[in-house]
Amino acid sequence: MSFLNQEIQDEGILNQQRQIEKEVAEIHPLIGQLQPSTCLLQEYMDDPIYVNKLTKLTNVYHSLRRVRPDGNCFYRGFGFSYFERLLENEDEWKKFQALVMGTKDQLISQGFPKFTLEDFFDSFMEVVNRLGGESKMDAEELHRIFNESGTSDYLVVYLRLITSGQLQKEEDFYQNFLEGDKSMKEFCQQEVEPMYRESDHMHAIALGSGLNVGIRVVYLDRGEVTTNPPEHDFPEDCIPSVYLLYRPGHYDILYK
């Protein structure tokens, strides 16, 4: 194949990828509108196992907000859900604001490069600073900010960096969760810090611990039918402030 033909083919693949990304963005906003949780029943109406579990779930959690399934859904869902809560709680916002202010120096002291960290930290603090006080935003503006990919992705990146910092700071504890011969630093550089990498319970424990925010994850799968969908709190024994629904490979936001 000639260089020109290869170039045309590559451009065609890129255009196709852009079209797919555009279609995904139209179908799946980064953070969706609030919906009744019963909407999930329509997705699984032909599956009695899921219908049984969802019927129980909808008795506890009345609303749902969908998050784009792009590998960042855990962080984006967590960020939006907790920021939404802070809009209604001035005292908790002040504590969180003070805690986050100290994260940049903590991460720099752990060896994270200052010149890359500062942009993400500044963008994160710009939003956090407007969750209370005189320049407080409303819920509609928060939703708009989380759906602007530039700002929204910066928020996700900083949450990933906080998670990475916590995993490395408490390496002795989290090392037990690792498989294979990777060091914790290698794991973080490959599986935590890059965008679009999926998250599991270890990430949830680290982020919840690093920010002092309790996370409850409700698991919906084809497991044991007789019980309610299992719930796990991260870190253990916390008081949950954020509720997430986990279906294999994806997180959405739940509301009681």
Per-residue pLDDT, 24: 64
Is 70 annotated as catalytic? yes
Identify the bridge partners of residue 63 per DSSP, sorted by sequence position: 36, 255
- The single residue of 188, 203, 250, 252 carrying the catalytic annotation is 250
* pLDDT at residue 181, rounded to an integer: 86
In the numeric block, which tokens belong to residue 160? 């990933």
pLDDT at 22: 66
User: How far, in Å, CA of 222 to CA of 212, rounded?
Assistant: 32
pTM, two decimals, is 0.90
Q: Which two tokens stand for residue 27?
A: 């179908």
Which fold does the domain 47-255 belong to in CATH?
A: 3 helical TM bundles of succinate and fumarate reductases (1.20.1300)
Q: In what order do the strands lie in the sheet with 63-67?
A: 31-36, 63-67, 250-255, 240-247, 214-219, 231-234
Is the Cβ–Cβ distance between 235 and 68 less than 8 Å?
Answer: no
pLDDT of residue 23: 65
Pick the catalytic residue: 70, 153, 203, 252?
70
Q: Which residue is associated with the tokens 């709190």?
A: 233
Cβ-count burial of 166 within 10 angstroms (0-12 exposed, 13-18 middle, 19+ buried)?
A: buried
If DSSP codes are grouped into helix, strand and coil, which group holds residue 34?
Answer: strand
Cα–Cα distance, 225 to 46 (Å, whole number): 15
The pLDDT score that the predictor gives to residue 228 is 83
3: tokens are 């260089």
Residue tagged active-site, from 73, 153, 188, 203: 73
pLDDT in tens, the chain (256 residues): 444 455 556 676 677 766 666 666 667 899 999 999 999 999 999 998 899 999 999 999 999 999 999 999 999 999 999 999 999 999 999 999 999 999 999 999 999 999 989 999 999 999 999 999 999 999 999 999 999 999 999 999 999 999 999 999 999 999 988 988 889 999 999 999 999 999 999 999 999 999 999 999 999 988 776 678 999 999 999 999 999 999 999 999 999 9
Query: Can you give the pLDDT at residue 117?
Result: 96
| pLDDT value for 199 | 96
